[in-house]
Amino acid sequence: MIGDTIKYLREKEYVSGEVLAQKLGISRVAVWKQIQKLKDMGYKITSEQNLGYCLVSRPDLLLPQEIQRGLSTNYVGKEIYYFPELKSTNIMAKEKTLHRAEGTDQGTLIIAERQSAGKGRLGREWFSPAGGIWLSIILYPQLSPSYISRITLMTAVAVVKAIKVCTRIESQIKWPNDILISEKKVCGILTEMSAELDIINWVVVGIGINVNIGHREFPENIQENTISLKEASGKEVLRVKLVQIFLQEFEKYYEILKRREFSSILKEWKLYSHTLGRKIRVDTGEKIITGEAVDINEEGALILKKEDSELAEIISGTILK
Ligand code: BT5
């Protein structure tokens, strides 16, 4: 209802309470209540007794009705759960997968203005102050669990594309889940899943992008390695627009992945790679392997050429400094 009300309001033009009531199929008192709700959300709306209501400005928030306005996806973001604050959008998304029958479907989005306990991989913290984009997408792919790495890599490509389209900034992908600008981290991806031997029950893809944030807002020990889009571009970035473009890119690449055409995504991934061609050290959780990153294979694994020239295939790990 709120989404419809905002759709029928006009900027720089009055719409009468009567017309709104007719379009929405509710009473004029109910219209007035809707307007109060919008004002509480941060919309500026003026009202004139004989003219009706006029939308003066929209809040800078990632509200579902704002994201869905002009969103051209088929299913990603068609259902959005919005929170001013959450512990973690990934945790909430996982809870939603328990109630799939109640309507949480493919491409459902959980989004928060800030997270109090944002999660990185392996129990690491993800700092999520106001001004960023912290969201999770729920998927139910009919793919084998071995696709999980490919989903992370395709998400990274979608993020790089969206940043480029929205801000013209070129960013790079550090395998497997970091997006960098000028060697500093601007975005992280956390892909979680529940699977059985050969089927995935659900996947939650969590994406955190530092948008209109100063890196000084982060704890001191990570300030040096973090950056935001605002800092990189020198101006505020329209978060709603970036979310919309990202969701569109995400759906596009996910469709390609579902058609089992990962190789075309990989080609793009390699174009944006920060990792290939570098001498690196990778912590696999079991050991640390040193070598030159020579390739990513069709499963999304990193291929390292070790000092003894032997090749190591690493499906998951963290590149050390
Ligand atoms: C990641 O983990 O990079 C995955 C981050 C995923 C965050 C999103 S936000 C929406 C969704 N809901 C969640 O709760 N999480 C997801 P990892 O590769 O483990 O990197 C974590 C490390 O990045 C930390 O140990 C810090 O060093 C650094 N870090 C933490 N917050 C950061 C930030 N905002 N920007 C850049 N680096 C950060």
* Predicted pLDDT at 2: 83
Residue 128 alpha carbon to ligand 1 centre in Å: 8
Q: Mean of the pLDDT values across residues 54-59? A: 94
Residue 48 alpha carbon to ligand 1 centre in Å: 47
Q: Mean of the pLDDT values across residues 292-321? A: 95
Q: What is the pLDDT of residues 66-98, one digit of tens each?
A: 999 999 999 999 999 999 999 999 999 999 999
Q: What is the pLDDT of residues 222-261, one digit of tens each?
A: 999 999 999 999 999 999 999 999 999 999 999 999 999 9
Residue 157 alpha carbon to ligand 1 centre in Å: 17
- CB contact burial 72-84 (16+ within 10 A = b; e otherwise): ebeebbebbbbbe
Angstrom distance (rounded) from CA 202 to CA 145: 10
Residue 122 alpha carbon to ligand 1 centre in Å: 10
DSSP character string of 154-217: HHHHHHHHHHHHHH----EEETTTEEEETTEEEEEEEEEEEE-SS-EEEEEEEEEE--S--GGG
Is residue 175 in contact with ligand 1, taking CB distance under 6 Å?
no
* Predicted pLDDT at 60: 86
Question: 45 forms bridges with which residues in the sheet?
Answer: 55
Q: Which of 2, 248, 247 is nearest to 135 (CA)?
A: 247
Q: What is the pLDDT of residues 96-150, one digit of tens each?
A: 999 887 767 799 999 999 999 999 999 999 999 999 999 999 999 999 999 999 9
* Predicted pLDDT at 101: 74
Is residue 134 in contact with ligand 1, taking CB distance under 6 Å?
yes
Q: What is the pLDDT of residues 4-43, one digit of tens each?
A: 899 899 888 999 999 999 999 999 999 999 999 999 999 9
Alpha helices in the chain (DSSP H): 2-8, 17-24, 28-41, 64-68, 89-97, 148-167, 220-223, 229-233, 239-258, 262-272
* Predicted pLDDT at 24: 94
* Predicted pLDDT at 269: 98
* Predicted pLDDT at 266: 98
Angstrom distance (rounded) from CA 221 to CA 238: 28
* Predicted pLDDT at 102: 72
DSSP character string of 30-58: HHHHHHHHHHHHT-EEEEETTTEEEEEE-
Q: Mean of the pLDDT values across residues 179-196? A: 97
Record the tokens describing residue 253, joined without a space: 């690449």
Substitution site in 126, 152, 215, 229 for ligand 1 pocket (most atoms within 8 Å of beta carbon): 126
* Predicted pLDDT at 160: 98
pLDDT over 90 percentage in the chain? 93
Which DSSP category does 229 fall into?
H
Angstrom distance (rounded) from CA 246 to CA 240: 10
Record the tokens describing residue 125, joined without a space: 């913290």
Which contiguous run of DSSP H or E holds residue 137? Answer: strand 133-139
pTM for this one?
0.94
- Residue-averaged pLDDT of the chain: 95
Q: Which of 101, 184, 177, 93 is nearest to 139 (CA)?
A: 93
Q: Mean of the pLDDT values across residues 279-303? A: 96
